[in-house]
Amino acid sequence: MPVPTTGHTVESLTTWLGERIALYLKRQPAEIDPTVPLAEYGLDSVAAFSLCGDIEEDFDFILEPTAAWDYPTVQALAEHLIKEFDAAKGGAA
Amino acid sequence: MTSFRTFTELVLARAGALGTEDAFVFLPDDANGSVPQHLTYEQLDADARRIGAWLQERGCGGGQVLLLYPSGLEFIKAFVGCLYAGAVAVPAPLPTEQGRQFARVTGILRDAEARAVLTDAANAPEIAAWLTAENMPHVHCLATDGEAFADAADWREPDLTGENLAFLQYTSGSTSDPKGVMVSHANLLANEAAIQRSVGSDSSSRYGGWLPFYHDMGLIGHILQPLYLGGSGVLMAPVSFLKRPYRWLKMIGDYGVTIGGGPNFAYDLCLRRITDEQLATLDLSTWKAACNGAEPIRVETIRAFTERFAPAGFRPEAFFPCYGMAETTLLVSGTPRGTRPVVLGVDAEALERGELADPREDAPSRTLVSSGIVNEQDFEVRIVDPESFRERAEGQVGEIWVKGDSVASGYWKRPLTNKEIFDAAITGTDGRPDGGGWLRTGDLGVFEDGQLYVTGRLKELIIFAGRNLYPQDIERAVQLTDKAFGIGSGAVFAVETDREHLVVVQEVRPSAVTTDLRTLATGVQALIGREFNIPAGNVLLVRPGTIRKTTSGKIQRTLMRQLFLKGGITPLYEVLEPAVRALVADAVDRPADAVV
């Protein structure tokens, strides 16, 4: 069941993203520093697709797989998602 | 089983006999709430006639035709349309999709001398603009999902023999030098028969998969095999699988899929991403052959997948480890049906020397997974010393050499390479070469008790998630990112833990660095992720003169890899994945002669 795209903060998304990415890369969430480029953790295109799939499932929002390269840290991705969620909300209103 | 001379004759006969039965079902990504699309044999035949007529009217009947499609039924119609026209299909990745591989596809377009490009309406404007930009306005371009571009009644059955080419398979060669395997109708029919014998398929077989349609395992294994049998296939796009691996396994139960598979990483991804709740909804009991090929097969994956998915009805003997390549059309060997994958524990040190020996206590060992057996009626396979060209005995590692009706005649327009790669001769005990005609696969392997074990690569090719990557392509791209990097002074190679890891060693001129080394390394990682869609977790920036070259200036990647694994490279700056750091540390702790 998708959760609404409203009510999120950069902090809550940072936590969610860190947990997902740790899972894909077989690491502990605590190891993922939100400001370190994901490439340094060995993020690959398979993991980038996994992330897009999970975002679709959990937030009912379609993210382009290239976003993981355009917003290369957890922090940058979280900020991007918040902006996109807000835009989607605005568009629906 | 067949009396057909060409695959065109075969498809025409299947279409005539099977009419309204489904040939294929395509499952679009369900994010848009889309429904499965069905293609009957009759519809496939009708659309292929129209496409064939359009190609024949433009004089493309005997020429090469580039196919640029997203995964979907339009690709299949266009491929069969080429068969109907008597044209040579050239499947390639859609360059407008993620990764934007225009450079590679331009190389293929030019090398293949394509006379026409077939695509769909959504991509046609961008493809037409690309043809104009490449100064190829004489190349015809058609969106095959458009209306009334040709009349099926104008199509004429081509006069072909088994020697005519069915398609060019561009999976080999670097971006700057793409090589297309010339697959004839006779090659294709021979290999489809070999696959049928190996995997035990028949007209009731239901194929199911998600591999790229232009990939040899996707095209020959999952699309042309069901056509060959008069069976059916259920397909989805790679992206659908990668986003939600659950969809692939769900498809198996939903559609009663019996045969299908992918590279080893696909099974790993299922293990990592499918939840207990999802597992409870799966039915894998119809799956008779879960193909595992195109990259190294790992025993850990086979064991973990078999255990995890047993509650869903997955049987241990369903795993079908197999071996093959585009140069042999597709399959060379496979695991006999009804038997479990065969594994063999060996001493790691002896294996590095090229011999099989029983594991010793307190010494590193490796577990090899057999790629199955070779059917004598389809192939002759020999293990050959790649230096002396003498045959090696059972239990000794050497290059895998192959001969048979499935082996292509060579790469398109590469007579010199073909003489070397497709017409090698084995030196006999009397010191004389045999009659030649052997394909050198570039893979290292060994026979033991009739089982073929693939143990490594002779060439420096890197295989990542089933994709062949050429180190020189990555090195060149890296060197263009910053002026501080010397051109031609980097080495890219892969090292192995429980998976493959890319390692980039690049020389940097400290005086030319305008930022800092960390920024340079991060830039390299981002570039490789974006351009090649692979992780570059390991980057070493080194002093000029560190990269070893031959006297003729060729990068010695194998030597650099050995140095790296011994801890013999002193970097100015490095970033290493924890698993790779551990691998190097382990090696440093061991005596030097035991190092891989």
pLDDT in tens, A28-63: 898 899 998 887 777 777 888 899 999 988 888 888
Q: Please tell me the class of the B342-457 domain.
A: mainly beta
Residue pair B229/B205 in contact by the 8 Å Cβ criterion: yes
Per CB-CB distance under 8 Å, the chain B contacts of A67 are: none
Structure tokens at B554: 């060729």
Q: Is B348 on the interface with A (CB under 8 A)?
A: no
Q: Which amino acid is at B249?
A: L
| pLDDT for the residue numbered B263 | 93
Flag whether pLDDT at B131 surpasses 50. yes
CB contact residues (below 8 A), chain B span 14-33, against chain A: 31
| pLDDT for the residue numbered B167 | 98
Q: Residue A68's domain is classified under what CATH number?
A: 1.10.1200.10
Mean pLDDT of B94-104: 77
Q: What is the mean pLDDT of chain B?
A: 92
Q: Which of A26, A45, A64 sits opposite B534 (nearest CB)?
A: A45
User: How do residues B435-461 score in pLDDT, each as one tens digit?
Assistant: 999 999 999 999 999 999 999 887 777
Mean pLDDT of B385-398: 95
> How many whole angstroms separate alpha carbon B313 and alpha carbon B431?
54
| pLDDT for the residue numbered B296 | 83
Structure tokens at B322: 């197999």
Per CB-CB distance under 8 Å, the chain B contacts of A66 are: 98, 530
Per CB-CB distance under 8 Å, the chain B contacts of A46 are: 242, 265, 269, 465
Give the chain A residue nearest B242 (alpha carbons). Answer: A49
Q: Which of B242, B501, B530 sits opposite A49 (nearest CB)?
A: B242
Q: Which amino acid is at B562?
A: Q
Q: Identify which has the larger pLDDT, B63 or A68.
A: B63
Confidence of residue B98 (pLDDT cuts 50, 70, 90): low
- Asked if A56's CB is within 8 angstroms of B243's CB, the reply is yes
| pLDDT for the residue numbered B586 | 77
Mean pLDDT of B571-591: 82
In a domain, A40, yes or no: yes
Flag whether pLDDT at B100 surpasses 70. no
| pLDDT for the residue numbered B385 | 94
Per CB-CB distance under 8 Å, the chain A contacts of B267 are: none
**Start and end residues for every CATH 3.30.300.30 domain found in chain B:** 470-594
Q: Is B580 on the interface with A (CB under 8 A)?
A: no
Flag whether pLDDT at A1 surpasses 70. no
Confidence of residue B364 (pLDDT cuts 50, 70, 90): confident
Give the chain B residue nearest A56 (alpha carbons). Answer: B31
In a domain, A87, yes or no: yes
CA atoms lying within 13 Å on the CB side of residue B98? 18
Flag whether pLDDT at B109 surpasses 60. yes
Give how far A42 is from chain B: nearest CA, Å.
Answer: 4
In a domain, A64, yes or no: yes
- Asked if A52's CB is within 8 angstroms of B243's CB, the reply is yes
The total of structural domains in chain A comes to: 1
Which residues in B219-284 belong to E strands, given as ranges? 232-236, 259-262
- Asked if A46's CB is within 8 angstroms of B465's CB, the reply is yes
Which residues in B28-132 belong to E strands, given as ranges? 37-40, 64-68, 88-92, 116-119
Per CB-CB distance under 8 Å, the chain B contacts of A77 are: none
| pLDDT for the residue numbered B341 | 97
Flag whether pLDDT at A2 surpasses 60. no
CA atoms lying within 13 Å on the CB side of residue B118? 30
| pLDDT for the residue numbered B99 | 59
Mean pLDDT of B50-74: 97
Name residues whose C-beta falls within 8 Å of residue B491's C-beta, 6 or more positions apart in sequence: B471, B475, B504, B505, B547, B548, B555, B556, B557, B560, B561
- Asked if B535's CB is within 8 angstroms of A62's CB, the reply is no
- Asked if A44's CB is within 8 angstroms of B534's CB, the reply is yes
Q: Is B581 on the interface with A (CB under 8 A)?
A: no
Q: Is A59 on the interface with B (CB under 8 A)?
A: no
Q: Which amino acid is at B180?
A: G
- Picking from B171, B177, B240, B230, the residue whose alpha carbon sits closest to that of residue B201 is B230
Q: What is the largest CA-CA distance in chain A?
A: 40
Mean pLDDT of B111-131: 96
Give the chain B residue nearest A25 (alpha carbons). Answer: B272
Confidence of residue A92 (pLDDT cuts 50, 70, 90): very low
In a domain, A46, yes or no: yes
CATH of domain B7-25+35-235: 3.40.50.12780
Angle CA(B251)–CA(B189)–CA(B196) in degrees, nearest 5? 45
User: How do residues B454-505 score in pLDDT, each as one tens digit?
Assistant: 998 877 778 777 777 888 888 988 998 888 997 778 999 999 887 789 999 9
Q: How much of chain B exceeds pLDDT 90, in percent?
A: 75
| Residue B187: alpha-carbon gap to chain centroid | 18
| pLDDT for the residue numbered B104 | 85
- Asked if B577's CB is within 8 angstroms of A69's CB, the reply is no
Q: Is A41 on the interface with B (CB under 8 A)?
A: yes
Mean pLDDT of B323-352: 94
Confidence of residue B592 (pLDDT cuts 50, 70, 90): very low
| Residue B351: alpha-carbon gap to chain centroid | 26
CA atoms lying within 13 Å on the CB side of residue B226? 30
Structure tokens at B478: 């890296």
| Residue A8: alpha-carbon gap to chain centroid | 12
- Picking from B277, B212, B287, B226, the residue whose alpha carbon sits closest to that of residue B256 is B287
| pLDDT for the residue numbered A91 | 54
| pLDDT for the residue numbered B414 | 95
Count of H-run helices and E-run strands, chain B: 19, 26
Mean pLDDT of B295-303: 91
Residue pair B438/B424 in contact by the 8 Å Cβ criterion: yes
**Start and end residues for every CATH 3.40.50.12780 domain found in chain B:** 7-25+35-235
Top mean pLDDT of A62-71, A77-86, B23-32 is at: A77-86
Mean pLDDT of B345-350: 90
List the single best residue of A25, A33, A40 to mutate versus B (max B Cβ within 10 A): A40
In a domain, A3, yes or no: no
Mean pLDDT of B116-141: 95
> How many whole angstroms separate alpha carbon B386 and alpha carbon B22?
47
Mean pLDDT of B555-580: 90
Span B470-594 CATH architecture: 2-Layer Sandwich (3.30)
Q: Is B536 on the interface with A (CB under 8 A)?
A: yes
Confidence of residue B367 (pLDDT cuts 50, 70, 90): very high
Q: Model's pTM, two decimal places?
A: 0.86
> How many whole angstroms separate alpha carbon B398 and alpha carbon B382?
9
Q: Identify which has the larger pLDDT, B102 or B288.
A: B288
Per CB-CB distance under 8 Å, the chain A contacts of B522 are: 37, 39-40
- Asked if A42's CB is within 8 angstroms of B244's CB, the reply is no
User: How do residues B268-292 score in pLDDT, each as one tens digit?
Assistant: 999 989 999 999 999 999 999 999 9
Give the chain B residue nearest A48 (alpha carbons). Answer: B243
| pLDDT for the residue numbered A62 | 85
Give how far B47 is from chain A: nearest CA, Å.
Answer: 33
What residue numbers bound the domain in which A17 lies? Answer: 10-92
Flag whether pLDDT at B594 surpasses 70. no
Instruction: Find tokens 């990097």 and name the residue.
Output: B485
Flag whether pLDDT at A76 surpasses 90. yes
DSSP string, B382-435: EEE-TTT-BBPPTTB-EEEEEESTTS-S-BTT-HHHHHHHTSB--B-TTS-B--
Flag whether pLDDT at B378 surpasses 80. yes
> How many whole angstroms separate alpha carbon B588 and alpha carbon B596?
11
Per CB-CB distance under 8 Å, the chain A contacts of B98 are: 64-66
A46-55, A64-73, B227-236, B317-326 — which is least confidently predicted? A64-73
Angle CA(B430)–CA(B431)–CA(B436) in degrees, nearest 5? 105
Per CB-CB distance under 8 Å, the chain A contacts of B577 are: 41-42
- Asked if B522's CB is within 8 angstroms of A40's CB, the reply is yes
Per the DSSP assignment, residues forming a β-bridge with B90 are B66
